[in-house]
């Protein structure tokens, strides 16, 4: 093993080839090429095989990264894939969209020693794409039928991960989702240049082929109340995500030309999937030929600015009230955006949308500075006196984050307990809500977070539901 590994001192870090910014900015295809076999093995061989693998401990799924890197370096690709998918329901998706720079790669020991991190995400993506090509991805096989059913509200990563695990355990599983395609934000919220949609569709198709039933264009509260779903199933999992956009609090924010980030991204993704989208065709949710300002500093903001570039915007500016070092979005995504021509206005906040109610034509902003830390421990931004400036803007996109919807009201379930932030309250250990037999997982519990955490939560919730229903079956048999 030693001869094949620990090559970080002689082999430089290399990512898969990245398409030139000028080329990739004209389409929505993924920006990275695939690793070839030899390059994947070479990069995997750089792993130092740490005694305490910080990459693994800082992965929410605790993926066994050092071992599948070693197997990749040794050419044992099918074994490497099997180990990778043992802890991850969607390794090729995490390999594409996880912020590895903040998780596994950011904790890589050789990165700390100045040799450059192992390209863990690229190898993870390579392994699973290879598995699909070679037929190593096995069909979903249901366990022995238990005669019990689980209803899952939400077909995003948490719901899909739970559905897979519960179906494997022998439960009848029905997934309900408001959209007309399964995948949640994976299909409609994340642009194709980060995650091409056939990658998501083959995962959801595998679940459907394995007996998971999908009820799409189904809204809980409209098509059935939560109580009605509870009557249909032995247990319910709420994995609805958080979709309520935070508002831009500024004069003129209700003007035509101000759009919510998710509305904008869903429209773009629908067009890419071949749907007719009137708000896109009319220009309401289309950046073509317009000066675009995106307000926000997270990964959703990066998705918006990079989408606007591809739609042919005249100019694209990202306005963020803190500095680059304090930006919550992935540093890698910021770099991609800069390569593609996005201008960043750091330490700047919106003051007013200019124009009139029918037409936005600019954004007045104010310069900020970082003051003393706030309650969260981060330095709070403060306005700089006399720091006003104007930006041209025919389209202002608010990407300020997401809050939970009012589920007790939406689901006609007043007894469903929520926190002061509106997230569903769930027991830390059992993941059960205030309603017996109703569980919750993902962003609707923890707040807007990462896909990898949603997958982890969905898998944990499936295990908790399995334990709950198994105990109930034993009691019924006594």
Question: Is 375 domain-assigned?
Answer: yes
Mean pLDDT of the chain: 95
Q: Across residues 128-137, what is the average pLDDT?
A: 97
Q: What is the pLDDT of residues 348-369, one digit of tens each?
A: 999 999 998 778 999 999 999 9
391-405 pLDDT per residue, tens = 999 999 999 999 999
Same domain, 345 and 440: no
pLDDT in tens, 48-100: 999 889 999 999 999 999 999 999 999 999 999 999 999 999 999 999 999 99
- DSSP label of 4: T
> Other CB atoms closer than 10 Å to residue 169's CB: what's the count?
20
CA angle 29, 121, 119 (to 5 degrees): 110
d(CA 275, CA 8) in angstroms, rounded, equals 47
pLDDT grade for 9, boundaries at 50, 70 and 90: confident
Contacts of 295 (CB under 8 A, 6+ apart): 248, 301, 319, 320, 350, 363, 396, 397, 398, 399, 400
Q: Which residue has the higher pLDDT, 341 or 9?
A: 341
* In-domain check, residue 11: no
**pLDDT for residue 378 is more than 90:** no
Q: Are residues 378 and 257 in the same domain?
A: yes
Q: Using one digit for the tens of pLDDT, what is the confidence trace for 425-477?
A: 999 999 999 999 999 999 999 999 999 999 999 999 999 999 999 998 888 87
Q: Which of 398, 425, 447 is the last residue of a domain?
A: 398
pLDDT above 60 (res 2): no
Percent of the residues in the chain that have a pLDDT greater than 70, as a whole number: 99
Higher per-residue confidence, 234 vs 111: 234
Give the Å distances, CA to CA, from 144 to 97, 151, 167, 176, 340.
34, 18, 10, 23, 52
DSSP three-state, residue 425: coil
d(CA 383, CA 263): 30
- The CATH number of whichever domain residue 472 belongs to comes to 3.50.50.60
Q: Domain limits at 229?
A: 149-242+404-477
Domain shared by 379 and 264, yes or no: yes
The secondary structure element, H or E, covering residue 25 is none
Task: Give the relative orientation of helices 120-134 and 77-86 as an angle to the nearest 10 degrees.
Answer: 110
C-alpha distance across the termini of the chain, in Å = 54
- The 8-class DSSP code of residue 444 comes to H
Instruction: Kindly report the length of the chain.
Output: 478
User: 251 with 361, same domain?
Assistant: yes
pLDDT in tens, 261-312: 999 999 999 999 999 999 999 999 999 999 999 999 999 999 999 999 999 9
- Work out whether strand 244-245 and strand 402-403 pair parallel, antiparallel, or are unpaired: antiparallel
Domain-located, residue 143: no
**Residue 313: what pLDDT?**
98
Which three-class secondary structure state does DSSP give residue 394? coil
pLDDT given for residue 1 in this prediction: 46
Q: Per the structure, how many domains does the chain have?
A: 3
Q: What is the pLDDT of residues 307-352, one digit of tens each?
A: 999 999 999 999 999 999 999 888 899 999 999 999 999 999 999 9
The CATH number of the domain holding residue 38 is 1.10.1060.10
Q: How far apart are CA 59 and CA 455, in angstroms?
A: 12
The whole-number pLDDT of residue 3 equals 58
């Amino acid at each position: 093993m030693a001869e094949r590994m620990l090559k970080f001192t002689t082999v430089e870090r290399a990512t898969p080839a990245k398409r030139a910014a000028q080329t990739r900015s004209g389409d929505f295809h993924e920006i990275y090429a695939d690793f070839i076999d030899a390059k994947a093995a070479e990069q995997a061989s750089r792993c130092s095989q740490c005694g305490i693998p910080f990459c693994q401990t800082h992965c929410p799924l605790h993926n066994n990264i050092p071992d599948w890197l070693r197997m990749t370096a040794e050419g044992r690709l099918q074994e490497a894939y099997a180990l990778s998918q043992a802890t991850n329901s969607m390794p090729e998706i995490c390999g594409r969209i996880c912020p590895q720079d903040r998780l596994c790669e950011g904790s890589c020991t050789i990165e700390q020693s100045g040799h450059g991190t192992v390209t863990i995400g690229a190898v993870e993506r390579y392994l699973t794409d290879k598995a699909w090509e070679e037929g190593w991805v096995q069909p979903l096989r249901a366990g022995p039928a238990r005669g019990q059913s689980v209803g899952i509200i939400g077909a995003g990563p948490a719901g899909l991960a739970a559905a897979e695990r519960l179906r494997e355990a022998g439960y009848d599983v029905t997934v309900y989702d408001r959209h007309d395609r399964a995948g949640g934000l994976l299909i409609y919220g994340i642009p194709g240049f980060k995650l091409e949609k056939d990658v998501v569709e083959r995962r959801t198709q595998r679940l459907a082929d394995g007996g998971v039933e999908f009820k799409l264009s189904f809204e809980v509260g409209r098509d059935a109340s939560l109580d009605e779903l509870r009557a249909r199933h032995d247990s319910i999992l709420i994995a609805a995500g958080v979709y309520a956009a935070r508002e831009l609090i500024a004069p003129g924010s209700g003007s035509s030309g101000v759009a919510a980030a998710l509305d904008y991204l869903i429209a773009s993704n629908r067009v890419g999937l071949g749907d007719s989208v009137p708000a896109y065709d009319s220009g309401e949710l289309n950046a073509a030929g317009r000066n675009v300002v995106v307000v926000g500093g997270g990964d959703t903001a990066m998705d918006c600015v990079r989408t606007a570039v591809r739609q042919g915007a005249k100019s694209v500016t990202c306005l963020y009230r803190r500095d680059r070092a304090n930006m919550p979005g992935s540093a890698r995504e910021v770099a991609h955006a800069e390569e593609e021509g996005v201008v960043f206005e750091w330490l700047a906040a919106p003051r007013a949308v200019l124009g009139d109610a029918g037409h936005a034509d600019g954004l007045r902003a104010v310069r900020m500075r970082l003051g003393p830390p706030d309650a969260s421990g981060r330095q709070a931004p403060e306005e700089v006196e006399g720091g006003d400036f104007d930006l041209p803007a025919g389209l202002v996109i608010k990407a300020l984050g997401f809050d939970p919807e009012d589920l007790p009201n939406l689901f006609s379930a007043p007894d469903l307990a929520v926190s002061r932030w509106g997230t569903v309250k769930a027991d830390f250990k059992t993941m059960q809500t205030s309603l017996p037999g109703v569980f919750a997982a993902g962003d609707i519990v923890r707040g807007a977070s990462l896909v990898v955490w949603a997958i982890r939560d969905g898998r944990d919730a499936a295990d908790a539901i399995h334990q709950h229903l198994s105990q109930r079956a034993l009691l019924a048999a006594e």
